[in-house]
C-alpha cells in the first residue's frame, strides 16, 4: 500500500512547477498526494510514490492551464457552483465509515483536516466544471456520436457489458455444534479448579503454562496479544470487551470451552489479554444432535412455519439476513447449494466450522443479458465522455504550447 508522509523540511518549500506567472510548490503537491493516497478509488493506480508525485504535478499544471484559458474565454465558476458538489463528495466519503465519528477519527489518524479535504475537492471539482464548460463552448457542437457507433460498441462488448450476474438475497439460521450438558459441567468443574488457584494468589502466566489447553498461547504464558473488535468469536468478544484493565474474569463458556482471561490493557476497539482455556470435547453424537435439530427446523419451514420466527427463536447468530450476493461469487460450501435453490426455498443443513446453517432465499434474480435498447443511453454517454476526454487531452497539450510551463526535479 502506498503511504505518503507529509515532510516538514526544505523539500516542502521547493518549486515543483511554474505555469505562466504562477508557481506550484512541493508542499501543495504533497498535500494532494496525501489525500489522494487515502482515496480507495484511486490509491491502487500507483505502485510508487514517484508515480503519484508525477501524476499530481501534471494534474495541478492542467488545472492552472484550464483556469488561464477559462479566463480568456470569459468562463467563470463561482463557489455556489462548486459547494454542493464538494458537500456531496464529503458525504459520499463519510458513507464508507460506520459513523461520522469513525470518519473524523480516520481523518485524525491520517493527519488530514476537514478543511484540507474540502480544499482538495474544491480545487478538483472547480477544474472539472471549468473543463466541462470549456469543452462545451469549444467542442460540444463538434462531438457527434452516431447510432451506428453505439450499436457497434454494443455488439463488440456485449459479452462483458450486457451480462448481469444472477443475484440472491440470503438469510440463515445458525446452529453451532455445542458439547453436551454433561461435558460442559465437567469442563466448568475443571475451569473452576484452575480459577481457585488464581484466586488464592497463583501467577497467571505460570498457571496458563501448566493448565491451559490452547497450545498457541500456552507456551507464552497464555498471552493472546492485542485483539481487535470483530477478530474473534462473538461470545468471547462480548465478555473480554466488558472487562476493565487488570481484571481476571471468572470462567465463561464459548463453543470452544471455558475461558479465564486477564485484561492487561484496553483501547476503544482493542484489548490486550492473556487466557487460560479449558477445552470441552465435542463428540460425533453432538454433531448428529445438532444436525437432527436443523433438519427438524427445515421441515417446519417447508410445512409453512414462518422462517423469521424460527430464526429469532433458534439461531445463535443475531444477524439473520446475510445480504445480497452474486450467485457466481459465493464460496463453498454455499455456492453449489444456492445455485440449485429457488426463491422462497430453504436448504438442507450445511455444515461449516461455525456449525449447521439453514439458508433461505428471500429473493433470487437469474442471470440476464441486457438488450441494446436498455444500454443505448449509457453507451451513448460513455462514448461521448470518451470523446470529451480526447478533446480535453488535446486542449491541455495545445495550451502547453501557448503557455510557459516548466517542471523541476525535487531533490
Across 89-103, 225-239, 255-269, least confident range: 89-103
Same-domain status, 119 and 41: yes
What band does 354 get if pLDDT is binned at 50, 70 and 90?
confident
Q: Distance (Å, rounded) from C-alpha 96 to C-alpha 265?
A: 29
User: Is 399 strand, coil or helix?
Assistant: helix
- Report, as an integer, the average pLDDT of 362-389: 92
The answer to whether residue 160 sits within a structural domain is no
pTM over 0.85: no
Structural domain of 76: 10-148+374-407
211/360 same-domain check: no
The predicted model gives 344-370 an average pLDDT of 94
Residues in Cβ contact with 3 at an 8 Å cutoff, skipping those fewer than 6 apart: 37
Question: pLDDT tens digits, residue range 202-249?
Answer: 999 999 999 999 998 999 999 999 998 888 888 899 999 999 999 999
The pLDDT value given to residue 38: 65
For the stretch 281-290, pLDDT in tens is 888 999 999 9
14 lies in the same domain as 122: yes
d(CA 158, CA 10): 54
Assigned domain for 158 exists: no
Per-residue pLDDT, 211: 96
What are the grid coordinates assigned to 324, written together?
A: 445480497
Is residue 126 one of the residues assigned to a domain? yes
Q: What is the pLDDT of residues 40-73, one digit of tens each?
A: 666 677 878 888 889 889 989 988 898 888 888 8
- Band the pLDDT of 10: cuts 50, 70, 90: very low
Domain final residue pick, 256, 279, 302:
279
CA distance 43 to 38: 7
Out of 279, 296, 311, a domain closes at: 279
Give a yes or no: residue 65 inside a domain.
yes
Q: What CATH number has the domain bearing residue 396? A: 1.10.4030.10
- Quick one: 359 and 381 in the same domain? no
4 pLDDT band (50/70/90 cuts)? very low
- Tens digits of residue pLDDT in 113-164: 888 888 888 888 887 888 788 877 877 677 889 999 999 999 999 888 998 8
CA 168 to chain centre: 21
pLDDT at 184: 92
Query: Residue 389 domain-assigned?
Result: yes
Sign of CA dihedral 279, 283, 289, 295: positive
Residues 52, 83 within the same domain? yes
Spatial CB neighbours of 227, under 8 Å, sequence gap ≥ 6: 237, 240, 270, 271, 272, 273
- Categorize the per-residue pLDDT at 358 as very low, low, confident or very high, splitting at 50, 70 and 90: very high
CA separation, residue 239 to residues 232, 242, 243, 250, 262 (Å): 11, 5, 7, 10, 11
Q: Is residue 161 part of a domain?
A: no
CATH number at residue 321: 3.10.50.40
Asked if 119 and 15 sit in the same domain, the reply is yes
Whole-number pLDDT of residue 168 = 96
pLDDT for 160-181, tens place per residue? Answer: 899 889 999 999 999 999 898 8
What are the DSSP calls for 78-113, one per residue?
A: -HHHHHHHHHHHHHHHHTTSSSHHHHHHHHHHTT--
pLDDT reported for residue 33? 84
Burial class (CB in 10 A: 0-12, 13-18, 19+), 115: exposed
Chain mean pLDDT for the chain: 88
Average confidence (pLDDT) over 258-283? 93
Same domain, yes or no, for 386 and 316? no
Same domain, 34 and 141: yes
pLDDT at 348 over 90: yes
Kindly tell me if the per-residue pLDDT of 251 is higher than 80. yes
> Worst-scoring range by mean pLDDT, 103-112, 213-222, 374-383?
103-112
Q: What is the DSSP letter of 367?
A: -
| The pLDDT value given to residue 49 | 83
Instruction: Return the pLDDT at 2.
Output: 40
Indicate whether 44 and 126 sit together in one domain. Answer: yes
* Radius of gyration of the chain measured on its C-alpha atoms: 31
372 touches 151 (CB < 8 A): yes
Q: How many domains does the chain have?
A: 3
Amino acid at each position: 500500500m502506498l503511504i505518503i508522509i507529509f515532510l516538514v523540511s526544505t523539500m516542502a518549500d521547493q518549486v515543483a512547477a511554474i505555469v505562466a506567472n504562477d508557481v506550484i510548490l512541493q508542499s501543495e503537491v504533497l498535500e494532494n498526494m496525501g489525500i489522494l493516497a487515502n482515496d480507495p478509488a484511486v490509491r491502487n493506480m500507483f505502485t510508487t510514490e514517484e508515480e503519484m508525485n508525477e501524476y499530481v504535478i501534471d494534474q495541478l499544471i492542467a488545472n492552472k492551464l484550464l483556469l488561464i484559458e477559462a479566463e480568456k474565454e470569459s468562463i467563470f465558476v463561482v463557489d455556489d457552483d462548486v459547494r454542493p458538489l464538494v458537500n456531496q463528495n464529503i458525504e459520499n466519503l463519510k458513507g464508507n465509515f460506520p459513523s461520522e465519528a469513525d470518519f473524523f477519527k480516520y481523518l485524525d489518524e491520517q493527519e488530514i483536516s476537514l478543511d484540507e479535504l474540502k480544499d482538495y475537492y474544491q480545487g478538483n471539482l472547480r477544474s472539472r466544471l471549468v473543463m466541462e464548460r470549456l469543452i462545451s463552448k469549444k467542442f460540444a457542437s463538434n462531438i457527434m456520436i452516431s447510432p451506428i457507433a453505439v450499436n457497434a460498441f454494443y455488439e463488440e462488448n456485449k459479452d462483458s457489458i450486457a451480462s448481469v450476474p444472477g443475484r440472491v438475497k440470503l438469510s440463515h439460521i445458525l446452529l453451532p455444534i455445542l458439547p453436551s450438558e454433561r461435558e460442559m459441567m465437567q469442563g466448568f468443574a475443571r475451569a473452576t479448579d484452575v480459577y481457585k488457584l488464581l484466586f488464592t494468589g497463583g501467577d497467571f502466566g505460570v498457571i496458563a503454562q501448566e493448565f491451559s489447553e490452547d497450545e498457541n498461547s500456552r507456551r507464552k504464558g497464555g498471552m493472546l496479544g492485542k485483539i481487535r473488535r470483530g477478530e474473534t468469536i462473538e461470545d468471547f468478544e462480548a465478555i473480554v470487551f466488558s472487562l476493565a484493565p487488570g481484571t481476571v474474569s471468572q470462567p465463561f463458556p464459548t463453543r470452544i470451552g471455558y475461558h479465564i482471561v486477564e485484561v492487561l490493557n484496553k483501547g476503544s476497539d482493542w484489548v490486550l489479554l492473556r487466557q487460560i482455556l479449558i477445552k470441552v470435547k465435542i463428540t460425533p453424537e453432538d454433531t448428529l444432535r445438532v444436525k437432527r435439530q436443523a433438519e427438524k427446523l427445515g421441515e417446519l419451514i417447508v410445512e409453512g412455519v414462518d422462517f423469521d420466527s424460527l430464526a429469532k427463536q433458534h439461531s445463535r447468530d443475531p444477524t439473520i439476513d446475510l445480504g445480497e450476493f452474486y450467485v457466481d461469487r459465493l464460496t463453498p460450501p454455499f455456492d453449489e447449494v444456492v445455485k440449485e435453490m429457488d426463491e422462497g426455498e430453504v436448504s438442507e443443513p450445511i455444515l461449516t466450522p461455525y456449525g449447521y446453517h439453514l439458508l433461505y432465499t428471500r429473493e433470487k434474480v437469474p442471470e440476464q443479458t441486457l438488450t441494446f435498447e436498455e444500454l443505448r443511453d449509457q453507451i451513448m454517454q460513455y462514448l461521448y465522455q470518451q470523446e470529451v476526454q480526447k478533446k480535453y487531452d488535446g486542449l491541455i497539450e495545445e495550451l502547453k504550447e501557448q503557455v510557459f510551463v516548466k517542471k523541476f526535479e525535487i531533490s
